[in-house]
Structure 1
Amino acid sequence: MDTAEPGAAANQGAEGPGADPAAAGRSADLAALAAAHGLAVSGERPSLPVYTRRLWSRRHFIVAFATARLTAMYTAARLGQIWQVMTPLLNAAVYYLIFGLLLGTNRGIPNFIAYLCTGVFVFQFTQSAVLAGTRSITDNLGLIRALHFPRACLPIAFTVIQLQQLLFSMAVLGVIVLATGEPLTVRWLLVVPVLLLQSAFNAGLALFMARIGSKTTDMAQLMPFVIRTWMYLSGVFWSVSTFTAHAPKWVATMLNLNPALIFNDLMRYALMQSVTADLLPRHVWEITLGWSLLVGLAGYVFFWQAEEEYGRG
């Protein structure tokens, strides 16, 4: 059990040249007393293994929190939970009008409707997780200050919310893909590992942005513009391979290593027979696993390093 008094009192002793020896002695006695009874400073950051065990023990809280927030999200809307599906569908319709019909970026892309809808649904998962993660600390300061729990629960829970929304959308996406002429094949099973890898990647980004957003509140206003730029570079509504065929090699390499593009292409490969393996980057699964582990673990450690600072000040 954590408590602030003994540990806090232990830190009151001055250590400068003018320190009172009696006060220093009392501080040492209090520190020894706290250590003897297993007391620690309230809010002190635990070691990474201990923190991970505490986070795992809160897994049921994370799922319950995410489910409750998702249920409450559309309660004020007349159509309720239908908006979970309507939002990406309306986005896809707008992008089809602009990029498919007006700008003609659908040229050379078989089954552009399925191609576009898959890109929109998959990228929105990353977009929503990052934007929600950026605000996850600042929007929940009351909960943070009232209860003691690993703060990583919040950005992870918001990633779970977006995953739950995507699962609803994937059912509709499957209908769209089948309705546009794509067959149901064994490759559809690849949807599961793609979503697992993307979830780990998104959670890492959400954790990373949660720490930055907690210190720089203006980041929540800036991130939509950053995400929109990222979307334009991720082949959501145009074929990157068509562009890179005539681009400098270094530009093609940078675009093909874009993790958002890789997740889009893998999902299209899983759902669409017209997207073949030769259209994917070489070693695509190794690259995807690398992105998920790198961003997931780095974001987790980066967030943990500032654990004792969230909700202070």
Structure 2
Amino acid sequence: MSQALHTPPPTTAPATDDLAALAARHGLTVSGARPTLREYVSQLWARRHFITAFSTAKLTSQYSQAKLGQLWQVMTPLLNAAVYYFIFGVLMGTKRGVPDYVPFLVTGVFVWTFTQSSIMAGTRAISGNLGLVRALHFPRAALPISFALQQLQQLLFSMAALVVILLFFGVPVAASWLLAIPALVLQFTFNAGIAMILARMGAKTPDIAQLMPFVLRTWMYVSGVMWSLDRLLSNHSDLPSWVAPVLRANPAAVYIDLMRFALIDSFHSSQLPPHVWPVATGWALLVGVGGFIYFWKAEETYGRG
């Protein structure tokens, strides 16, 4: 009599819900999962010393191979200002009718360079540091913020040269110079926000870094860096009605205006149009907070693929 063969019943894989419950019971989470916004802010604050040290190290190493070293932090924007003065101030005559044109131009160049450099560095913040992103666990927003902080530190070096230029051209020291501090805080918030927006975009599409110089050059020309927007609008009254409010609400022009009216006596702070501070604050909150949330939404994707 043959013995019946009995096959063991097939084993079934545990359900996904069972695995999720098991992981939750033992405190396990998905590797690389995006934390909540509150947790993300807390993690970022806990790494504030890393952000500061990283930005300082990047600033120190930026000109380490040059013989003049850190002097280029001041010389680069000054040379740019000299070129713009010759081309626009002398050849194109934009200095006519603008009091204290050299302080006017140098202030515009320094403030614009702060925004321009923050954007360019932010665009490559993730795509240019993939080794760091893949090797270490930290909130990725630390990278674009640290690059914006690096550019702020560089601007502060340039501001020392700007003070010398202001005094050389007879601009007196005034209490309104203190307004430069809140102006820089607002501009840094705006710059960090737009750096985070472009860091997320650049992480997915690195070609954006090749496009940005053309965008920034166009933005510079409509921001009143080399000429007075008020004189430009008054001399071209035939422009469409929407051009003037758009140019005046341009965030780069707004932050340049804040600094000029704070530092230059002929652009006294009491003459500053009333819309500038509210618009500057609005841009800082909109782009700073909005850019942070936009960047956080893709936190788990950085460094993958």
TM-score (norm 2): 0.93
What one-letter code is carried by the residue in structure 2 that aligns with 1:158? F
- 1:185-264 matches, within 5 Å, as 185-245=174-234, 246=237, 247-264=239-256
In the alignment, the residues of structure 1 paired with residue 154 and residue 78 of structure 2 have an alpha-carbon distance, to the nearest angstrom, of 13
CA RMSD of aligned residues (A): 1.4
Aligned match of 2:292: 300
Identity of aligned residues (%): 60
Give deviations 1:107-159, integer Å, cap 9, x for gaps: 11001100000000000000000000000101100000000000000000000
Task: Spell out, residue by residue over 1:251-291, the C-alpha distance to the aligned partner (whole angstroms, 9 max, x if none).
Answer: 11110000100111110101101013575333321111111
1:144 and 2:138 matched = no
Structure 1 residue identity aligned to 2:282: G
Q: Structure 1 unaligned segments of length 5 or more: list them.
A: 1-19
The runs of 5 or more residues in structure 2 that have no matched partner are: 1-9
The two structures have a TM-score, normalised by structure 1, of 0.91
2:272 aligned to 261, 277, 280, which one? 280
Aligned residues: 293
Question: Are 1:89 and 2:78 an aligned pair?
Answer: yes
Q: Alignment partner for residue 120 of structure 1, among 99, 104, 109?
A: 109
Distance 1:311 1:170 in 2: 36
Distance 1:87 1:277 in 2: 28
Taking the TM superposition and a 5 Å limit, the aligned residue runs for 1:159-178 are 159-178=148-167
The structure with more radius of gyration:
2
- Which residue identity lines up with residue 26 of structure 2 in the other structure? H
Equivalent position SS for 2:267: coil
Note if 1:23 corresponds to 2:13.
yes
Higher RCO (CA < 8 A, seq sep 6+): 2
CA distance in 2, matches of 1:70, 1:212: 24
Q: In 1, are the aligned partners of 2:23 and 2:29 still within 8 Å (CA)?
A: yes
Checking the alignment, whether the CA contact within 8 Å between 1:241 and 1:279 is kept in structure 2 is no
Determine helix, strand or coil for the equivalent of 1:274.
helix
Asked if the contact 1:66/1:158 (under 8 Å) is kept, the reply is yes
Deviation at 1:29, TM superposition (A): 3.6
Task: Give the letter aligned to residue 72 of structure 2.
Answer: W
Question: Residues 291 and 21 (structure 1 numbering): CA distance in 2 closer, same or farther, change over 3 Å?
Answer: farther
Q: Distance in 2 between the 1:95 and 1:294 partners?
A: 31
* C-alpha contact 1:256 1:281 (8 A) present in aligned 2: no
The structural deviation recorded for 1:243 is 1.7
CA contact (8 A) 2:176 2:269 kept: no
Letter in 2 for 1:288: A
